[in-house]
Amino acid sequence: MSDEFPSSTSRRCGRSTTRSPTAAVVGLWAVLMLLATGCVTELEADATAGLTSTTRIPVTTTVESPAADQKAEGSGPDSATTTTTPLPALVDAHLEVVEVLDGLDAPVALSFRSGQDEMIFVAQREGTVRRVEIRARSRGRISYRLRSGHLVDVRDEIDLSPGSTDDDDDDGETSLTMADRGVRGMAISADGRRIYLSFTDTNGTTRIDEWTFGDAQISNRTRRTVLQLDTPLSDVAGNNLAFGPDGFLYIALGVADSGATSGTAQDPRTLAGSVLRIDPEPFEDEDYVIPAGNPFADGDLGAPEVYLYGLHHPTALSWDRATDDLWLTDAGRDRIEEINLLTAGADVGANLGWDVYEGSRLADPDLAALADHTPPLFEYDQGVLCKLTGGTVYRGEIEPLQGVYVYGDACDQRLYGMVTNQLGEVVEAGPIAEGLEAGPITALAANAKNELYGLSLRHGSILSVQAIESTEDEEDE
């Protein structure tokens, strides 16, 4: 299944953008997959095969807060009011995932451009970026058309031929598989002016290149390399890109399994096994700028680019548009898939544990536990499921899905959701749509209206997450 999922430059410190802290609470780690309860549907029960056994928590949360007159008059705690906030119930979501366009060649990433909402940008593993035009039709219908030609084309710099990079090298180490070659990520700046592509070239170098938009086209004359990692091909896996709410470019890099026990991910002085944060705007003779708020911006205890570390193979990073919290999925090596929640403004410089921990468990029983690390919010054992893909918090118009973290798995043709309460605890997790004819979802992204689109690498198609219209004779149970 490895083909079905993603996944030395000068620097300058000084320029910074202050990010407004959002009122959010630190996520408390909990693991559950909907077992042993009369509320679990047949669909949910089937999905738990091979997963961690857990107990379902009620989908409401109660928070005590002082009444207004208590604050004014200093009355005792007995006058506190209790507010019950309902949470989404996955069983009420009633979703379907619709294939809206096919004909793509191994799509690995999708993005949207500010001011051009009628267009989907899709990166293909081979080294190209295609555009899909969205057209509104009569009676509320929407059509999708794949434009001819390529917006970006670096195919002559990528080698995807069998055996080109995945054979054993002279040192006996295994290089990256097909899933880790070619284009790995794409991002468009918040102002819509620039597009960024991450890829592994024929020399095994990991590169982040930038192009500038004209009106709707780009010119190769605007191309420049923002960052490159001249490390052995076997030392870096994964290469996801995303712009954060602070306007900075985040780059998620993993460590390939051939170097999984080297301790690289636990060393913030190295870039592999980390999430990097940079300002990609060139400054004087520098290719990019280090934000002043980076935890190792001075370079003393870690690389200035490093924002988080302790990652194995990050498959997706996204921000909740309502809270600015960062959600990050990390694929395990042998046993565990994990979802991490990093609270806005509070978890800068966090160590996520790899390669001492895989999920919440020691990767090797002989290893000493870490004194301080950030455990995952949620995890599941590999088995029927194998590798987390996609992942984003839904903030669109489908009310039962509001605030649900939506994700997929490379070995399962279902869409999954996870609900957290106001304390940051997981209260429900399970499938929310099944029977995806286009195969497992490879990636997920939200457009400007917060509606979700996905990709199927296997079928070369774009998917749309939609609500199933209820019928009049539907009755509440």
Confidence band, pLDDT 50/70/90 cuts, at residue 25: very low
Q: Is the residue at 416 inside a domain?
A: yes
Q: Is the residue at 91 inside a domain?
A: yes
| Distance from the Cα of residue 58 to its chain's centroid | 27
Burial 403-417 (b: 16+ CB within 10 A, else e): ebbbbbbbbbbbbbb
Q: What is the pLDDT of residue 171?
A: 41
CA distance 164 to 155: 14
Residue 97 has pLDDT above 80, yes or no: yes
Amino acid letter at 251?
I
Q: Is the residue at 79 inside a domain?
A: yes
**Least reliable range by pLDDT among 3-12, 168-177, 268-277:** 3-12
Q: What is the pLDDT of residue 204?
A: 81
Q: What is the mean pLDDT of residues 249-273?
A: 82
**Whole-number average pLDDT of the chain:** 78
Q: What is the pLDDT of residue 406?
A: 96
Containing domain of residue 256, as a range?
Answer: 2-467
Helix (H, G, I), strand (E, B) or coil at 69: helix
Question: How many domains does the chain fold into?
Answer: 1
Confidence band, pLDDT 50/70/90 cuts, at residue 250: very high
Helix (H, G, I), strand (E, B) or coil at 68: helix
Q: Is the residue at 472 inside a domain?
A: no
Q: What is the mean pLDDT of residues 164-186?
A: 57
Looking at the chain, the whole-number percentage of residues with pLDDT higher than 70 is 71
Q: What is the pLDDT of residue 438?
A: 78
CA distance 188 to 83: 41
Residue 420 has pLDDT above 70, yes or no: yes
- Give the contacts of 372 (CB within 8 A, at least 6 positions apart): 351
Residue 230 has pLDDT above 50, yes or no: yes
**Least reliable range by pLDDT among 19-23, 105-109, 208-212, 276-280:** 19-23
CA distance 266 to 41: 41
Q: What is the pLDDT of residue 264?
A: 86
Q: What is the pLDDT of residue 91?
A: 66
Q: Is the residue at 475 inside a domain?
A: no
Confidence band, pLDDT 50/70/90 cuts, at residue 87: low
Residue 69 has pLDDT above 80, yes or no: no
Token output for 7: 């996944």
Output the domain CATH number for residue 20.
2.120.10.30
For residue 42, what is the enclosing H or E element?
helix 42-47
The better pLDDT of the pair 416, 92 is held by 416
Q: What is the mean pLDDT of residues 177-192?
A: 84
Q: What is the pLDDT of residue 238?
A: 60
Q: What is the mean pLDDT of residues 30-59?
A: 35
The better pLDDT of the pair 234, 397 is held by 397
* DSSP string over 70-123: HHHHT--GGG-EEEEEE---GGG--EEEEEEE---SSEEEEEEETTEEEEEEEE
- Total count of residues recorded for the chain: 477
Confidence band, pLDDT 50/70/90 cuts, at residue 34: very low
Q: Is the residue at 476 inside a domain?
A: no
Q: Is the residue at 36 inside a domain?
A: yes
Q: What is the mean pLDDT of residues 63-72?
A: 35
Q: Is the residue at 367 inside a domain?
A: yes
Q: What is the pLDDT of residue 173?
A: 37
Considering 39-53, 133-147, 226-240, the range whose residues carry the highest mean pLDDT is 133-147
Residue 66 has pLDDT above 50, yes or no: no
Q: What is the pLDDT of residue 219?
A: 87
- Give the contacts of 440 (CB within 8 A, at least 6 positions apart): 4, 5, 389, 408, 409, 410, 411, 412, 413, 456, 457, 458
